[in-house]
Structure 1
Amino acid sequence: MTVWVGIDLGTQSVRAMAVTDAGDVVGAASRPLTSRRDGDRHEQDPEQWYAALAAACAEALRDVPSDEVGGVAVDATSGTVLLVDDAGAPRSPALMYDDRRAAAFLPRVNEAGGAVWDRLGYRAMQPPWALPKLLWLLREFPGDFRLAHQNDYVNRRLVGRATAADLSNALKTGVDLMAEDWPRDVMAALGVPDAVLPPVVRPGSVLGTVCAAASKETGLLEGTPVIAGTTDGCAAQLGAGATTPGSWNSVLGTTLVLKGVTREPVRDPLGVVYSHRAPDGGWLPGGASSTGTGVLSRDLPGRDLDKLSYEAARRPALDAVTYPLVSPGERFPFNAPEARGFTLGEIDDDVARYAAAIRGAAFIERLCFDYLDLLGAPVDGEIILTGGAARSRYVTQVRADALGRPVTLRENAEPALGMALLAQGLTATMARTREVVEPRPADQAHYLRFVDALAARGWLPAHVAAHAHERSAR
């Protein structure tokens, strides 16, 4: 039996899973992470990343013979970066995926790299992307330092030397996914020296092997292959088994993330959809919304969400809808920094407040698919739901109803599983279907009223709203 280790380096925790070729989980563990947030600032301690990773990995492998492990891969949050010295030690804070302090650099970034970004399909970078952050870091922390993405930092600790960055995590730092290299003329125009940039490889490439020091800390046998990982969104997609053209993984947790599979990159005039490069050379388009169930902890603190879900299911007449923005500004399926949450209809208790937020998240999910269809992306394949919200039958049914499509639930789909599959080489069948939930007949008028409200506020472009109406009438 060969065991593959996948590690998900998330925002709130690190999770490690040891998985067989057949998809049996033979070990799993997690450790919490802490953040420092203040307005546009969001930082984490890189040393905590590795300490938590090592502890979680060691626990997950406690009952697994070390010589049975065939490889390990790590995913990380997209757009999280820091500067390190020649020894790999942090020389700046780690700026997390949603840190927006570098927004002032965005015009320079998009002017210098606009032609490349346009060719790659997303047309323009957004304020929290990693390349503006890199310019900010180089200004604030001058010195002979090197860029490290979140999983570059821990991969170096695992291997014991500097490693290449994977193309998936390097996307938001400006890597040219067509050439599979940095656009060096763009970087030079922005004042980024070649020496700052790591080499890049496709996800699934071998970065090196576990060193002696890491072996003692993680329980991985020295010499175990360390495989280039992906972003957490792509990892979740692999774990869900969304790997064939036209299939999509929709992850609803704190926020909503959609990832699909296409043969060609999706080009988006609004710049809210961007395509990662798949390990086989294909494309993984998708986007991340600023909406999600994160509003529940903010608006319903301390409430029993399972109980609210049960009560909401017993009150089908609830028809209010909330635009559930977790933080100001929308990123997908439209770009509107000025967007703010709102509610249509009456809310008179916490059950109605809960149901309105869930319905709003489902409507945004539907609007994402409408927009992807407008861009010409294939959206007729399997839709696989994952993330914390997929554990609720009520939420899953509301989403299936809003989409008007069957949705698939997996037995065990999470980013760490996706990384185990990537470490294995993507030839095993680890994703197992638990259930397919069919949609119930739904009144499209509620969805279209929500779409029109977004358009009336000037956030959703009129042609996108029109396509949503057209698609609803099919």
Structure 2
Amino acid sequence: MVDEDAGWLGIDLGTQSVRVLLVTADGTVLGSGSAPLTGRRDGARHEQSPPRWWAALCTASRAALGSAPPGLPVGGLAMCGTSGTVLLTDGSGRPVSPALMYDDGRAKAQAARAREAGLVVQDTWALPKAMWLVGEYGGTALRLTHQPDLMVCRLTGQPPPADSSHALKTGYDLEGERWPEAALAELRLPDDLFPTVVRPGTRLGEVCQAAADATGIPAGTPVLAGMTDGCAAQIASGALRPGSWNSVLGTTLVLKGAARDPVRDPTGVVYNHRAPDGTWLPGGASSVGAGALAAHVPDADPAAMDERARAFEPSGALAYPLVSPGERFPFRAPEATPFVLGEPADDADLWAALLQGVGFAERLCLDYLHHLGAPLDGPLTFTGGGARSPYWNQLRADILGRPARVPEQTEPALGMAALAAYGTSGAGALADVAARMVRVRTVVEPRPGRTATFAEPYARLVDALRDRGWLPGPVAAHAHSRLSRDTSAS
């Protein structure tokens, strides 16, 4: 049973900040804190300084715990990180390289070599980056470390096993629960480079006294293995029963669902995480997202721009708003670049085109999942920073032609609090623990007739992606066949 009198800490190591929530078993948020992060972007390069993660975590955790009721026990903590973010550490867990972030694109050649060795990986996944890092910082006694692994090491005082969720993009075989040793040997990677791996929710250790002094988290607090940020947001959405899906709209767009069996995709565009109970969480991560808004319309007031965008449904322009070059889902196209077709009437029309373009990409993701045979008949939930916009939520529901739930708390950190509660309880199902914590704020229904309004520009975008050679013809044809249907239809 989950301790009803304890608080549970969820930590989210994001792209732009570290966020921490202190949550009760029934979902009451007792405290929250955040601290900003910065990185270095230069073409295909996207790096962050790992020591800054720790400094931000200390600031955010102290803020979250500062408003907690006196004497409240902290039952445990878990944390998520950006999927595919890795670095090299020495034997004691000290960084010896910068962190290559989730969308760093410098390891294309290494990804091609990994695919030649029989591994299904994308160019920005962690395994190609590991190969690149070894080439740049090669030496002895190096350890590949995922973003949360480094923070767990600081919390517990010793290098931990990796969780299988973060290890997925490093080549870990979730079905066999092992590293692909033959393929890794063919790639001539050091035998001791890869950590041992455990399932999410496994106890990794306790907060040591030095970490307690720095973070304010009580010494002895259990530290549980976490999951990637997309999976964390999925837990926070409650989308853990087969057929349920969570769409996480932040800097980029991530879709995660639940299924009894893995969703097979030989291209590797859709991949499957494994839940702590052994069920499957298929999904994918796009390079389209809200990060494109600031790039195209800097210094904008989002609420004011949303209001002005209502006049442009549909927009006079058509956008595929990639945040960075290269697309990963709903198709793999490393050469893809953002584009805007047509001339927007003004900045509000451009804003509308960007909002709609993300919605069209989201629809294409669901159409592709349907093409693969994924179950889509359960509820859809919107989370992430984009879900704070009521207008964008309504627009997306209209484009998708289906209702969407919006929880009160959309932070991935909530999902990690639920995972911590589940992992320390030793009983029950994660879906049940999450259902108690998740509170639905509203259900957004598509407006009558609006889905048809957006069908024509969506079809044009599908054709534009196909004509550029990025979207396979059969996938484009499947999307066209579903123009008159909502995205939950079988």
Q: Aligned partners of 1:360, 1:340: CA distance in 2, in Å? A: 14
Q: What is the letter of the counterpart of residue 145 of structure 1?
A: L
Aligned to 2:157: 160
Distance 2:212 2:323 in 1: 39
SS of 2:265's partner is coil
In the alignment, what sits opposite 1:37?
Answer: 41
1:66–1:221 CA contact under 8 A, matched in 2: no
Partner of 1:273: 270
For 2:173 and 2:93, locate their aligned partners in 1 and report how far apart those are by CA, in whole Å. 25
Deviations 1:298-327 (A, max 9, x none): 111112221111112245464532111212
Q: TM-score, normalised by structure 2?
A: 0.92
Unaligned segments of structure 1, at least 5 residues: 118-123
| Cα distance in structure 2, aligned partners of 1:60 and 1:235 | 18
> What residue identity is the alignment partner of 2:373?
G
* Number of equivalences: 465
Structure 1 range deviating more: 344-353 or 358-367? 344-353
Matched, 1:449 2:444: no
What CA distance in whole angstroms lies between the structure 2 residues aligned with 1:338 and 1:316? 30
For structure 2, the residue ranges without an aligned partner over 5 or more in a row are: 423-429, 486-490
SS in 2 for 1:17: strand
Note the C-alpha offset of 1:135.
1.3
SS of equivalent to 2:66: coil
Partner of 1:111: 116
**Of the candidates 250, 257, 262, which is equivalent to residue 254 of structure 2?**
257
- Name the SS of the counterpart of 2:192 in structure 1: helix
Q: Report the counterpart of residue 354 of structure 1 in structure 2.
A: 351
The within-5 A match list for 1:181-330 is 181-316=178-313, 318-330=315-327
What CA distance in whole angstroms lies between the structure 1 residues aligned with 2:384 and 2:110?
Answer: 33
Which residue number corresponds to residue 371 of structure 1?
368
- Whether the 8 Å contact between 2:316 and 2:344 is mirrored in structure 1 is no
Equivalent AA in structure 2 for residue 232 of structure 1:
D
Q: Distance in 2 between matches of 1:316 and 1:175?
A: 44
SS in 1 for 2:438: coil
The answer to whether the aligner puts 1:436 opposite 2:437 as a matched pair is no
SS at 1:194's partner residue?
Answer: coil
Q: By how many angstroms is 1:358 displaced?
A: 0.8
- Are residues 391 and 67 of structure 1, via their aligned partners in 2, closer, same or farther at CA, if it must alter by over 3 Å? closer
| Cα distance in 2, alignment partners of residues 44 and 339 from structure 1 | 24
Map 1:64-213 to 2 at 5 A: 64=68, 65=70, 68-112=73-117, 114=118, 117=119, 124-141=120-137, 142-213=139-210
Offset, 1:245:
0.7
Change (3 A) 1:316 1:333: closer
CA contact (8 A) 1:3 1:70 kept: yes
Do the aligned residues in 2 keep the contact of 1:130 with 1:173 (CA within 8 Å)? yes
One-letter amino acid matched to 1:464: V
TM-score, normalised via structure 1 length: 0.95
Q: Aligned partners of 1:176 and 1:446: how far apart in 2?
A: 40
Find the aligned partners of 2:369 and 2:388 in 1 and give their Cα distance: 26
Q: Given the superposition, is the C-alpha separation of residues 368 and 344 from structure 1 closer, same or farther in structure 2, using an over 3 Å criterion?
A: same
Matches within 5 A, 1:335-350: 335-350=332-347
Q: Does the Cα contact within 8 Å between 2:385 and 2:410 map onto a contact in 1?
A: no
Rounded Cα–Cα distance in structure 2 between residues aligned with 1:96 and 1:125: 16
Report what 2:379 is aligned to.
382
